[in-house]
Structure 1
Amino acid sequence: MAERDELLASIVETTADYREGDLAAPTPEHVERWVSQFDEHVRLPILREIDHVLKSTYFSRANTRKFLSGLFQTDSLVGEDPCKFWGGVSFLDVQGGGASQKEMLALFSKILEKRCGYSVSDCGADPHSFVYLDDASFTGNRVRQDVEGWIAKSAPKDATLHIIAIALHSNGSNYANGRIQAAAKAAGKSIKLKWWRAIALEDQLGQTNSSDVLRPTQIPEDDLVKAYVEAMTHKPRLRVPGQVGGNGIFSSDEGRQLLEQEFLKAGARIRSMCPHLNKYQRPLGNSLLETLGFGSLIVTFRNCPNNAPLALWAGDPWYPLFPRTTNSDTSMRRFMAMLAREDF
């Protein structure tokens, strides 16, 4: 089998359950159609690098279950009796948008039913602590807004809150932590925060050179990218080449730079031809801050975040590798039907 065919097959295998039951299963032809939108000489190198990256950044349903099963019995969290600990937890269901929290709670509830004989809804009649569970946190705004609302409406005067996600981005979690503590103080409450995750990704501005997200080392010779940068009030901070980040997501700095350059060029082109994108949907991913984009490469079996590069998810007329869904009701129905068929 030729290298190209092997890479196409490998990417399909890694992402086989992406939005399963909602979309047709990915095929080599699907991946080929996506990569064919890039210049011919970079297509094979892009396939090599994205294949390597997705093995670290794509979280399948099986990987998510493995994370939650490990969480269930993490000694530093639950102590010697996991069922006693989780029985005394109140699980927050306070997410203001999307279905990710409800789906993660449903998945963890299945684990509790199997291990302890009770569900999430049976827990926390007299809680010793609270849990906010989600699949990932990027900018920190979602968890910050949700938890601030809980603090204002129903949080007790003193509480321990465990914030748990598969993936956390450092800048967002630091931001959310500070804002939540400020909200608690303003409300006259004491909230002890503890953060738990499978992977923590560095994305702080001051750590650009050692970051785990896409941060270009230079502005490419591309008219659309140059026009985008020229229109920025504050010019982007460029990464000094030489590092692949603490999590080793990239195969090499050369491979990392390839994705940074090609996804930046593609993102600028997508913005020029997709009129439905708003100003915050930047070439390398959605960001309220004026940047080249958020640059995360985390994708889960549930969905692709808009904080990922446009080249991965934007559509019409671009062909996405990971078509996004924004219909949380459809997503939830599909997820629950799938969950009912699984053997825990």
Structure 2
Amino acid sequence: MTTNESLCLSISKIIKDYRNNEFGNYDQEHVQRWINQFEDHEQEIVLLETNRILRKNFITIEKFHEFADTVISYDGIYGKDQKDFWDHVSILQIQKQGNSQSELNEIFIDKLSKNFNVEGIINAGANNYLYIDDFIFTGNRIFTDIRDWLQSTRPNNCVVHIATIGWYVYGQHSLKTRLDKLVQDVSLNIKFVFSTYGTNIFENRLSRKDYSEIFWPTSDVESDSKIKDYVQEINVSPKYRVENGIKNRVFSRPRREEYEKIILKYGLKIMSFPKNNNSLIKPLGYHKFDLFGFGSTIFNFRNCPNNNPLVFWWGDPEAPSYHPFSKWYPLLQRDTYKG
């Protein structure tokens, strides 16, 4: 077995249960079909780094079950009396788009029912509310959900616990700042408490760009003429990462620059397929402001986040040949209407 074949097999074992095989069998052949879209000399780097990222940052359903158990037993949430808290808490199910929150809530409710015989706590009135999600990227969806909920129900004198498996530093900071301002503006007494694993907090602040744990290219990417043309066309001065030689827990030091350049290159290629693109679509993932995109390195078993680079999730092999989606085969096909 060649190195590339071995890496394709390794990746397929990580993603084999993605969306319960809704989009087909994610086996070695599937990964091979995806990587064949890259030039021969690029394939090993892409496979090595993608395998590395997925091994570290793919949130499986097993990890979410572990997360649910941790939240239920974490006294930083339930305080002094565990049973009393879970008997009277309300679990929020207020996401406007997709089924992700209801799916994740089902896991929590099942565990709470078995441990504390709890029933009827979805969107109930309470002094403590729990908002569950897998990850905070920009924080925009959670902010919109909670803002709309506050406007429609006007809860007061309560605590809202936001529990996630992880978050990006700037996204969580921005979300908390906006939520605190929101309740102040509408004169509500609500405290927001955030909980996650310390090991799952990832760096993406501009002030710490050289230590970032997202796709954040160096100026070396402009050695590719198409990337340089894109930068000039947008007419924005990129805030490039400067290589510092410090170990990064997401990317490998010897391959990161080249890997980012390749992923950016093909993201731009994908963006050339449609005649018109949504302004949020960027080669390294959805983002309102950033030139290249958010650049997330987090994946999960439910749906590949659109904050991830386009090469991972853009496209649909079932699309008709005239459709732009037919021109790229995704590693983790995204259902844009769910989660």
TM-score under structure 2 length normalisation: 0.90
The amino acid across from 2:331 in the alignment is L
- Measured after TM superposition, the shift of residue 21 of structure 1 is 4.4
Please give the alpha-carbon distance, in whole angstroms, between the structure 1 residues aligned to 2:274 and 2:51. Answer: 26
User: Which SS does the other structure have where 1:19 is aligned?
Assistant: helix
Please give the alpha-carbon distance, in whole angstroms, between the structure 2 residues aligned to 1:58 and 1:17. Answer: 11
Structure 1 stretch 295-304 or stretch 129-138: which is displaced more? 129-138
Please give the alpha-carbon distance, in whole angstroms, between the structure 2 residues aligned to 1:243 and 1:155. Answer: 50
The root-mean-square deviation of aligned C-alpha atoms, in Å, is: 2.0
- Measured after TM superposition, the shift of residue 245 of structure 1 is 7.1
- Measured after TM superposition, the shift of residue 209 of structure 1 is 0.8
Counterpart position of 2:41: 41
Please give the alpha-carbon distance, in whole angstroms, between the structure 2 residues aligned to 1:245 and 1:281. Answer: 30
Please give the alpha-carbon distance, in whole angstroms, between the structure 2 residues aligned to 1:123 and 1:97. Answer: 17
Q: Deviations over 1:82-122 (max 9, x none)?
A: 33322221111111222221111112112112222224x34
Does the 8 A contact of 1:46 with 1:258 survive in 2? no
User: Which SS does the other structure have where 2:234 is aligned?
Assistant: coil
Please give the alpha-carbon distance, in whole angstroms, between the structure 2 residues aligned to 1:324 and 1:96. Answer: 18
The amino acid across from 2:226 in the alignment is L
Report % sequence identity: 31
User: Which SS does the other structure have where 1:20 is aligned?
Assistant: helix
Does the 8 A contact of 2:127 with 2:157 survive in 1? no
Please give the alpha-carbon distance, in whole angstroms, between the structure 2 residues aligned to 1:152 and 1:2. Answer: 58
Counterpart position of 2:329: 319
Please give the alpha-carbon distance, in whole angstroms, between the structure 1 residues aligned to 2:121 and 2:91. Answer: 10
Does the 8 A contact of 2:89 with 2:121 survive in 1? no
Please give the alpha-carbon distance, in whole angstroms, between the structure 2 residues aligned to 1:145 and 1:123. Answer: 19
Counterpart position of 1:202: 203
- Measured after TM superposition, the shift of residue 244 of structure 1 is 6.4
The amino acid across from 1:249 in the alignment is V
Counterpart position of 2:281: 281
- Measured after TM superposition, the shift of residue 310 of structure 1 is 0.6
Match of 2:241 among 239, 242, 246: 239
Q: Deviations over 1:181-229 (max 9, x none)?
A: 1110111112211111232211111111111101001224323212211
Does the 8 A contact of 1:157 with 1:188 survive in 2? no
Counterpart position of 2:18: 18
Please give the alpha-carbon distance, in whole angstroms, between the structure 2 residues aligned to 1:78 and 1:163. Answer: 13
1:215 aligned onto 2:204: no
The amino acid across from 1:208 in the alignment is K
Q: Deviations over 1:112-152 (max 9, x none)?
A: 12222224x34686623111111222111111111112222
1:89 aligned onto 2:84: no
Counterpart position of 1:230: 232
The amino acid across from 1:135 in the alignment is D
Please give the alpha-carbon distance, in whole angstroms, between the structure 2 residues aligned to 1:173 and 1:110. Answer: 28
Counterpart position of 1:341: none
Counterpart position of 1:339: none
1:190 aligned onto 2:192: no
Please give the alpha-carbon distance, in whole angstroms, between the structure 1 residues aligned to 2:250 and 2:336. Answer: 27
Please give the alpha-carbon distance, in whole angstroms, between the structure 2 residues aligned to 1:276 and 1:106. Answer: 39
Does the 8 A contact of 2:92 with 2:122 survive in 1? no
User: Which SS does the other structure have where 1:13 is aligned?
Assistant: helix
Please give the alpha-carbon distance, in whole angstroms, between the structure 1 residues aligned to 2:132 and 2:247. Answer: 26
User: Which SS does the other structure have where 2:144 is aligned?
Assistant: helix
User: Which SS does the other structure have where 1:286 is aligned?
Assistant: coil
Please give the alpha-carbon distance, in whole angstroms, between the structure 2 residues aligned to 1:103 and 1:238. Answer: 38
Unaligned stretches of 5+ in structure 2?
A: 316-324
Are residues 326 and 123 of structure 1, via their aligned partners in 2, closer, same or farther at CA, if it must alter by over 3 Å? closer
TM-score under structure 1 length normalisation: 0.89
- Measured after TM superposition, the shift of residue 11 of structure 1 is 0.6
Q: Deviations over 1:139-167 (max 9, x none)?
A: 11111111112222224222211111223
Counterpart position of 2:144: 145
Are residues 125 and 148 of structure 1, via their aligned partners in 2, closer, same or farther at CA, if it must alter by over 3 Å? closer
Please give the alpha-carbon distance, in whole angstroms, between the structure 1 residues aligned to 2:244 and 2:103. Answer: 39
Structure 1 stretch 110-119 or stretch 190-199: which is displaced more? 110-119
- Measured after TM superposition, the shift of residue 238 of structure 1 is 0.4
User: Which SS does the other structure have where 1:193 is aligned?
Assistant: strand
User: Which SS does the other structure have where 1:319 is aligned?
Assistant: coil
Please give the alpha-carbon distance, in whole angstroms, between the structure 2 residues aligned to 1:39 and 1:98. Answer: 36
Are residues 25 and 225 of structure 1, via their aligned partners in 2, closer, same or farther at CA, if it must alter by over 3 Å? same
